[in-house]
Amino acid sequence: VRSQSSSLAALETPCLLLDRGILERNIERMQERLRLGGVPLRPHVKTTKCVEIARLMTRGQPGGITVSTLAEAERFAAAGFRDVLYAVAMAPNKLEHAANLRSVGTALTLLIDNVQMARLAGEVATRRGIRFPVLIEIDVDGHRSGVLPAPEVLVPMAQAIHATPGLELRGLLTHAGSGYDCDSLKGIAEVAERERTIMVEAARTLRAAGLHCAEVSVGSTPTALTASSYAGVTEVRAGVFAFNDLMQTRLGVCTLDDIAISVLCTVIGHHAPQRRLIVDAGWTAVSQESQLHQGTRIYGRIGDARGRLIEDLALTLLNQEHGIVTRLSGCSIESAEFPVGTSLRILPVHACATAAAHDRYHVQRAGSDPMEVWPRFGGWTVPG
């Protein structure tokens, strides 16, 4: 967390800052790691939701992206990203939207883990005269969703999809979310290796049954940055690595200096009895994601206007447009040290959630570059 352009002072707070130098370093780190591992990156754009950043993430890569909403698929397809994996299990009410995207030439791949959805997707595809490429979601660790990789479950499911007109079985996908529960890099690497071996074995099972399985898609930032092997994997999905955050820092896959975004805010008050500063960034600007830090529940760590960490301060309470900053030591905060009008930066606990609170990035690079604004979008449908 460093660097500042001279136009920072002209910004109204709260707003979201993005350090382009850190962003590019984070992206290069992931790309270099996967290059050595011999596997391409299919960046997940759900964290960043920004065309400019997706261009940086796909540089030197095949160009395919992962999305979490059809709004992302539509926006990125309009910006030229035509190979789009929608990595959330499909719902019936989204099939026409997906078919619209497919009809205009987007290679939109769907995720399906049950036969009812396969049947409905096939019906829409057939009626619309298209085919949906399909991945089957595999549950490798019981953390969320997907089918179990047991052959007696997986093979009938794959056969059902294979036999459904309008669907084209492309392979398997998983997300080893349990990497986030680990307390060591070694533990995360073990999750990654277990994810890999289960998925490679599941792919082998499908192929042995005479089914097509071109894709073996895995990933998450922690596992991608710690895996010892990608053998048999055809692509790695990850997204938060571009920004990093306090969750990734705690996992040990990055340091505080690797966090590319921060919320710029302003001291708007002091409350001596409660030993607190009041800043103009609440949960609307920061999100309600929290973590324990030195025994205290915090919503962010605090840096000065230039991004230099102020070790003893933390964001400890949030209202809609108010944030409360206190000393972790419990000591009081002198108003003379942080007068009203002082700019501070909040380092996010969870970059996906904090970024989701904003509609633009104020992009800066160390040195004298002028600040740019990169738009960011949210939502589930693109306003007509």
Tell me: does residue 13 bind a copy of itself (CB under 8 A).
yes
- What secondary structure does DSSP assign to 269-325, as a single string? EEETTTTEEEES--HHHH-S--EEETTEEESEEEEETT--EEEEEEEEEE-SS-EEE
Which CB sits closer to a copy of itself, 120 or 209?
A: 120
Using CB under 8 A, pick the residue from 4, 31, 68, 178 that binds a copy of itself: 68
* Pairing mode of beta strands 309-318, 132-137: unpaired
Residues whose CB falls within 8 Å of the CB of residue 101, separated by 6 or more in sequence, listed in order: 70, 73, 74, 77, 84, 108
C-alpha torsion sign, points 294, 295, 298, 304 = negative
* Minimum distance, C-beta of residue 140 to a copy of itself, in the bound complex (Å): 13
* Minimum distance, C-beta of residue 37 to a copy of itself, in the bound complex (Å): 26
User: What does the buried/exposed string (b/e) look like for 84-114 if buried means 16 or more CB atoms within 10 Å of the residue's CB?
Assistant: bbbbbebeeebbebbbebbeeebebbbbbbe
| Angstrom distances, CA of residue 28 to CA of 24, 35, 61, 318 | 6, 10, 11, 34
Binding mask 332-371 for a copy of itself (x = CB under 8 A): -------xxx----------xx--x-xxx-----------
Which CB sits closer to a copy of itself, 257 or 359?
A: 359
Which CB sits closer to a copy of itself, 170 or 362?
A: 362
Asked if 201 and 8 count as a contact pair (C-beta separation under 8 A), the reply is no
Segment near a copy of itself (CB under 8 A), from 11-19, 77-85, 250-258, 301-309?
11-19
* Pairing mode of beta strands 261-271, 167-173: unpaired
Segment near a copy of itself (CB under 8 A), from 75-83, 100-108, 162-170, 283-291?
283-291
Binding mask 202-241 for a copy of itself (x = CB under 8 A): ----------------------------------------
- Residue 344 φ/ψ, nearest 5 degrees: -130, 160
Give the SS3 label for residue 357: coil
Using CB under 8 A, pick the residue from 58, 246, 280, 333 that binds a copy of itself: 280
Q: What is the dihedral of CA 89, 95, 101, 105, to 10 degrees?
A: 90
* Minimum distance, C-beta of residue 350 to a copy of itself, in the bound complex (Å): 9
Using CB under 8 A, pick the residue from 18, 77, 117, 246 that binds a copy of itself: 117
* Minimum distance, C-beta of residue 268 to a copy of itself, in the bound complex (Å): 4
Which CB sits closer to a copy of itself, 32 or 359?
A: 359
* Minimum distance, C-beta of residue 383 to a copy of itself, in the bound complex (Å): 7
Which CB sits closer to a copy of itself, 31 or 179?
A: 179
* Minimum distance, C-beta of residue 36 to a copy of itself, in the bound complex (Å): 29
CB atoms within 10 A of CB 330: 9
* Pairing mode of beta strands 15-19, 360-364: parallel
Segment near a copy of itself (CB under 8 A), from 29-37, 53-61, 219-227, 282-290?
282-290
Tell me: does residue 156 bind a copy of itself (CB under 8 A).
no
Using CB under 8 A, pick the residue from 82, 271, 275, 293 that binds a copy of itself: 271
For the chain, the straight-line distance linking the first and the last C-alpha, in angstroms and rounded, comes to 38
For the record, the structure tokens of 133 come out as 């490429």
Task: State the amino acid at position 312 in one-letter form.
Answer: D
Which helix (H) or strand (E) segment holds residue 51: the answer is: helix 51-58
CB atoms within 10 A of CB 144: 12
Binding mask 81-110 for a copy of itself (x = CB under 8 A): -------xxxxxxx--x-------------
Task: State the amino acid at position 373 in one-letter form.
Answer: V
Which CB sits closer to a copy of itself, 82 or 119?
A: 119
Q: By the criterion CB under 8 A, which residues form the site for a copy of itself?
A: 9-15, 46, 68-70, 88-94, 97, 113-114, 116-117, 120, 139, 142, 144-146, 148, 177, 266-271, 273-274, 278, 280, 283-285, 287-289, 319-322, 324, 339-341, 352-353, 356, 358-360, 378-381, 383
